[in-house]
Amino acid sequence: MDSEAQIIRTEYSDLMKKSYIDYAMSVIISRALPDVRDGLKPVQRRTLYDMYELGIRWDKPYRKCARIVGDTMGKYHPHGDSSIYEALVVMAQDFKKGQVLVDGHGNFGSIEGDGAAAMRYTEARLTKFTQEVCLSDLDKDVIDFGPNFDETEKEPLVLPVRVPNLLVNGAEGIAVGMATSIPTHNLSEVIDAVKAYMKNDAISTRQLMKYIKGPDFPTGGIVVNKDDLLNIYETGQGKIKIRGKVEVEELKGGKKQLVITEIPYTMIGTGIGKFLNDVAGLVESRKTTDIVDISNQSSKEGIRIVLELKKGADAENLKNMLYKKTRLEDTFGVNMLAVANGRPETLGLKQIIEHHVDFQFELATRKYTTLLAKEKEKSEVQEGLIKACDVIDLIIEILRGSKSVKDARACLVNGVTDNIKFKSSISKKMAAMLRFTERQATAILEMRLYRLIGLEIEALQKEHEETLENIARYEDILNNYESMAGVIMEELDSYKKEYGRKRRTVIENAEEAVFEEKKIEEQEVVFLMDRFGYARTVDTAVYERNREAADSENRYVVHCMNTGRLCLFTDTGRMHQVKIQDLPHGKFRDKGTPIDNVSNYSSTGEQIVAVFDSEQMRFARLLFATAQGMIKKVDGTEFQVSKRTTAATKLQEGDSLAAVKVISENQNVVLRTRNGYFLRFPAEDVPVKKKAAVGVRGIRLQKKDELEEAYLFEEGTEAKAMFGEKEVTLNRLKLARRDGTGTKSR
């Protein structure tokens, strides 16, 4: 009988909430965060284990990364191949990891942000460090295995990593609602701190920092807020300030150059290119005139960025400018979040070491329990063989008199003599007294005759003595905390000796970089912008010498001070501000820079209708005229704002700003439409409004016509304007009132 479908009614929001929490926890635990025990995310753990399973050891040939990625994806990690390959690449990059876990062969990217070659071109294998420190003893039941995604394979739930990899290699990961960011540390220092904790588990974070001075980044650099580190290591959160290393080199002729030999860890990748652009920007914007040339001479040997200085330049002040104005001094945000006991937890330095040491004792307990069991099995067999050698003639008689292996085994184990022919009753009595174990009986039945040679028997006895010594040693390790701690510390010492290296990052308390900007000598300049949008400033004297050419070749010519700002009004009703210092200053024939580069103005979406000096606007009123014929006056003080972009006026739907002019009360206004209608009226007819107002109607437009331009002239003066090829004398136009239709030009 078919069972009826059951409909469960539930609140939609509750269902969504539960589903999202399930998804979030899956991302947190199974993808984005490392485990505190081995310091690895699932994708890293699976990739390393897969390489171990494939036998791609440090002393074996490299194998194609595509093979590793495909095998990992098919067996353990059912996600995109790019995520697996990216994890593999990062584990092979010595500029990102304190200890590389993968030995890469081929193009695995560069510190300057170049990506790795495709996985079909690159090859990889495990490093000796990974094999010895992260993957040893997998055959000794030291960790738990669980089913893979389709339950066809077993995968390790954690790798038996013998050093605090979470600290040594750090971690970065973005989960749902949380992120982790753990800096790298020096292996030797971390090992010393672990040993100190094992000797005294009441040790404080401050005492641990006698061993771990601070982060040790692969890129070196200088940590400059040493005093903040204690709080960061106690809470697991904080900000580390890190600087690049800058050296001053003397050149011939009294010149100097600044050489950057180490960069902040945060500058890895595109940060170097951005830094070079930032320095070039400082030179272009004349924040400094002391840098003559910038060159990136970095190679496989290391970072070398050279800034050549002009003679007499203040190198120390320039160094501070680089720290202040570029990412040569940067912040590394620390958030030591990891999965501990199956849940995400923010951990301090001591807590991470505690978890690590607990894990090491668990590994050692399981390892030596397994070894002890094997040695006890071996001892049992050895005892049986030694005992068998003493009664070998009897055993041979039993074997020759038995009809089957079953009969012989029964006699050896339980003394059952039925179905066995003996040469004498004495032998039968002695055989009935035999009591070998099942394991011993199997070893005796499988024993080869050469083991009866005298020397072989001696070797067997010696081997048995060694086995008994091992059993005593393993029992001592398992039953005695000091013995187990000694074994763990011995291992740590061997890793420190083989893989330890000197610290790269300097830890100090440095004063904040103070950069004294040279005060720019205030002077009047002339802003020039051509019809293509290229802008620059020139000296007033240069403009006066080339006045005619400047006025004819440039769309906008504005007299201003070099310390001020320009306001660009666009047809979209917005105002963009530009610092005059940001514009190139030079010769009359210099090309200049696109105005888009130094402002938020976009030449693709808007058109400039007017340009004014900010200071001159302060004491003026502006006339606004729109394409739909709306006009108003606005006080210039309303545009004294700090924002780079602001709304200059309110526009009706489909309207655009046609003209912005500086207006005074004794002027006449002439509005001109596209179809040639002119309307003249006094400036006093235009009401003063706020910039957020639409304004009033200035001219009544004919169908399919729009306002194109506004002209201003003083009452009683002659003023002319061009319309097409005709010249129109504005002061001869009939004086009317605002909101008329105007007269058409003949």
The CATH number that applies at residue 636 is 2.120.10.90
Q: Which two tokens stand for residue 370?
A: 């397994």
Residues of the chain below pLDDT 50: 1
The CATH number that applies at residue 436 is 1.10.268.10
> Is 202 a domain residue?
no
Q: pLDDT tens for residues 486-520?
A: 999 999 999 999 999 999 999 998 877 766 666 66
Do 446 and 375 share a structural domain?
yes
The CATH number that applies at residue 96 is 3.90.199.10
> Is 417 a domain residue?
yes
> Is 401 a domain residue?
yes
Q: Is 602 exposed, middle or buried (0-12, 13-18, 19+ CB in 10 A)?
A: exposed
Do 740 and 637 share a structural domain?
yes
Do 643 and 558 share a structural domain?
yes
DSSP string, 62-114: -EEHHHHHHHHHHHT--S-HHHHHHHHHHHH-TTT-SS-SEEEES----TTSP
Among 114, 134, 160, the domain-final residue is 160
Q: Which two tokens stand for residue 196?
A: 């100190």
Do 374 and 323 share a structural domain?
no
CB-based burial, 585-601: b 16+ in 10 Å, e otherwise? beebeeebbebeebbeb
Determine the distance from the C-alpha atom of residue 674 to the mean position of all C-alpha atoms in its chain, rounded to a whole number. 56
Helix/strand/coil for 431 = helix
Do 300 and 428 share a structural domain?
no
The CATH number that applies at residue 300 is 3.30.1360.40
CB 73 within 8 A of CB 58: no
β-partners of residue 538 are 526
Give the total residue count for the chain: 746
Among 106, 138, 160, the domain-final residue is 160
> Is 143 a domain residue?
yes
Q: pLDDT tens for residues 207-265?
A: 999 999 999 999 999 999 999 999 999 999 999 999 999 999 888 877 889 999 999 99
Residue 665: Cβ within 10 Å count: 10
Do 291 and 148 share a structural domain?
no
> How many domains, in total, are found in the chain?
4
Do 489 and 373 share a structural domain?
yes
Do 658 and 531 share a structural domain?
yes
Do 703 and 558 share a structural domain?
yes
pLDDT for res 349: 97
Do 464 and 409 share a structural domain?
yes
Give the range of the structural domain holding residue 126, as residue numbers without chain letter: 40-160
Q: Report H helices in 480-546.
A: 481-499, 540-545
Among 269, 296, 327, the domain-final residue is 327
CB-based burial, 146-160: b 16+ in 10 Å, e otherwise? eebeeeeeebbebbb
> Is 507 a domain residue?
no
Residue 505: Cβ within 10 Å count: 25
> Is 34 a domain residue?
no
Do 528 and 419 share a structural domain?
no
Q: Which two tokens stand for residue 135?
A: 């993957």
How far is residue 272's CA from residue 326's CA, in Å, rounded to a whole number?
10
Do 403 and 471 share a structural domain?
yes
Catalytic residue IDs: 121
Identify the CA nearest to 102 among candidates 129, 67, 126: 126
Helix/strand/coil for 732 = helix
Reading phi first (left if > 0) and then psi (alpha if -120 to 50, else beta), residue 459 is in alpha
How far is residue 42's CA from residue 44's CA, in Å, rounded to a whole number?
5
Q: pLDDT exceeding 90 applies to what percent of the chain? A: 65
Q: Which two tokens stand for residue 704?
A: 């399919």
**What's the whole-model pTM score?**
0.74
DSSP string, 250-311: E-GGG-EEEEEEE--GGGTTHHHHHHHHHHHHHHHTTS-S-EEEEEE--BTTB--EEEEE-T
> Is 690 a domain residue?
yes
> Is 199 a domain residue?
no
Q: Which two tokens stand for residue 548?
A: 């005619």
Helix/strand/coil for 30 = helix
Query: In which element (H, E) is residue 165 found?
Result: helix 165-168
